[in-house]
Structure 1
Amino acid sequence: MEPSKRLTQRPVFVTGADGFVGSHLVERLVELDADVHALVRATSSGELKNIRRHGDDITVHRGDLRDKHSVERALRPLSDHGDSLIFHLGAQAHVGESWERPYETVDTNVNGTLNLLQSIVDLDLDIAKFDMAGTSEEYGNMNDEMVEKYEFDGDDRVLLSERSPVNPTSIYATSKLASDFLTMNYHDAYGLPTVTTRMFNNYGPRQNPRYITGTIITQALERDVVELGNLTPKRDMCYVSDGVRGHLHVALEGNPGEQYVYGYGENVSMREWTETILEVGVEEGYWEPTDIVQSEERFRPGDSDVEELLVGYEKLHEETGWKPTVSWREGIRRTIDWYANNRRSWYGRVDWR
């Protein structure tokens, strides 16, 4: 059942609200007439990038997940309500940059989650659900010593579900796994109605151009060559609007203390993903045929790359009816269109110059 009147004027608190997935979630919540409280990271400019146009429809709280005082202050307005929903999407979410900024990654993702959970306890908030946004990166590569714990599909591919072992291979993945466990700790110890969600590789408009889809598109728009790192890993690519729907379904219908994973349900190598993006761009008239170059300088360090990710989202589908609705080519088309028409939003943020 799709969310509708269940969110009308209902208090909803979103961390990372001005980020990629967070801004799309805020947009959907505004459409559903929720009482949206958006936590955005305080900066000297105070400028909002993605949710500025919703300024009259939301309450913006400026703070930092690493600063418990600002987190607690932002949450305090929820004290008057007993049916609030909290979506924790704020994080340092780039795998590659977690190696460049390891301390910030751990501080933001782990301590930030701890500050949020402990503030809920300290304020004695009576919330309806706390959704911790995890990541498919927590699964890492298959652990050969635990092969009997994995599930396989008809093509002998590892199918990752709520029951699969975790094996994080990056600082980012480890920090998110720690955040997942903290979230469950607070459910077990304090009875907080928490759930954890592991999304598989979201993409779409407004995503940071340093992620793979944005890197491909921005280079194709500006150059006659696309330079990338390792093109053999396979990823389960899920369009952002489907990801947002997943969060809403879990928050409204998921069982406290449980985990939910979801994605497109099919995977693709990064070379095939690149080729598909370039094909769609040519078909839509955004660029001419473009060469693909693989550069070892863009590889993840050592053996930290994850070889293959493929989700089995049966649990979420059976409990809530959720399933992806946006095809890869349609999602790619929408994403290219956004990057092509919003150069000022990404031009100075790319990492390929």
Structure 2
Amino acid sequence: MTIRRTGPADRAARARRRVALSLLMTALGACVSSAQPTVSRTPPLAQRNTVIVPRTATPAARPVANPPTRIPDYDPRSTPSPALLSIIQSLGRGFNGQVGIAVRRVDADWTVAWNGTALFPQQSVSKLWVAMTLLDAVDRGKLSLSDSVTVRRDDMTLFHQPLASLIGRDGYSTTLSSLMNRAMTQSDNTANDVVLRKVGGPEAVRSFLARRFVGNVRFGPGERLLQSATAGLSWNQSYAQGRNFYTARANLPRSLREKALDTYLANPPDGAAPSAVVMALAKLKRGEMLSPASTQLLLATMAQAKTGPQRIKGGVPAGWTYMHKTGTGQDLPPRSTGYNDIGIMTAPDGTSYAVAVFIGSTTEPIPKRWELMQSVARAVAENHDRR
């Protein structure tokens, strides 16, 4: 055992160390007493894994231990995709011509549109309303699709009418079902006009639209009167034969034709608002326009349409379906009028969108019009939310 003895020098050193330690403790005590207390709380797990994204801001990217559960910016059944809205407005704004575009999700309560409430000439799009009026009459027991009809030469109209080649000296016997199919899938003008007369004429169609609360959709006087007035002519039944209408139209002074066309475009008697059309299409798809059987028949017929394969249909992606009706008006070069397509796009998951593109007047070539319509279809598909 070793005993260490301390002298005066050691005792003095220890005293100095005690004084220094006492001063240090006093300083630390002063720092702690002047600071605000800090409370650390660990948030619940659900809060730590949730990133709330405000609509008007984009959160900065940061590494996280677990992927966040993102709260959606919108509910697709009550609010359209902001990207879809932006694209539709950009397409409408950028097109050289008078254009109206509307998109409506069938199971939702919103419509995205450009010039959605303006009236655009429908042309053969209006055949859809004739078909609905016929099927409504069938639903009410007023007519039957199997009713026989004889189409005669005096029933012929003008422009596209493939049925004319079947009309012999004694006429052509067929059924209302066949005529509706020709009108909807081939856009046969004579077939449509015969159906129109059978259902009670333009007033019957207007009455049907009113009973179904379809506003901002006009129905014109029928193909003959509509087209002859648009050209600046008064209807003559001889125009239905051969090239007679084209010859009579070509013989008119250009100033008269321009005035007649301007008058038609300014206030089209067959005008329709794109937003109103997609609303009606959505109601049709939901079964609110016709009976279930008639609804299915009309939608199936629209799916068989042979017209306009490069319009909206040309932009519908694989796996989607499209049922539709086109319309095409008269040209007075360099202007083309009434270049339209309306229909229902359905995604692989069963979600449907009513779509309408109306080109009232443009000098753009047909491929440019196709490009616009196909871009609308692609925008719908690319911004489809499966929720």
TM-score, reference length from structure 2: 0.24
Instruction: Pick the structure with greater CA Rg.
Output: 2
**Greater relative contact order (Cα 8 A, min sep 6): structure 1 or 2?**
2
TM-score, reference length from structure 1: 0.26
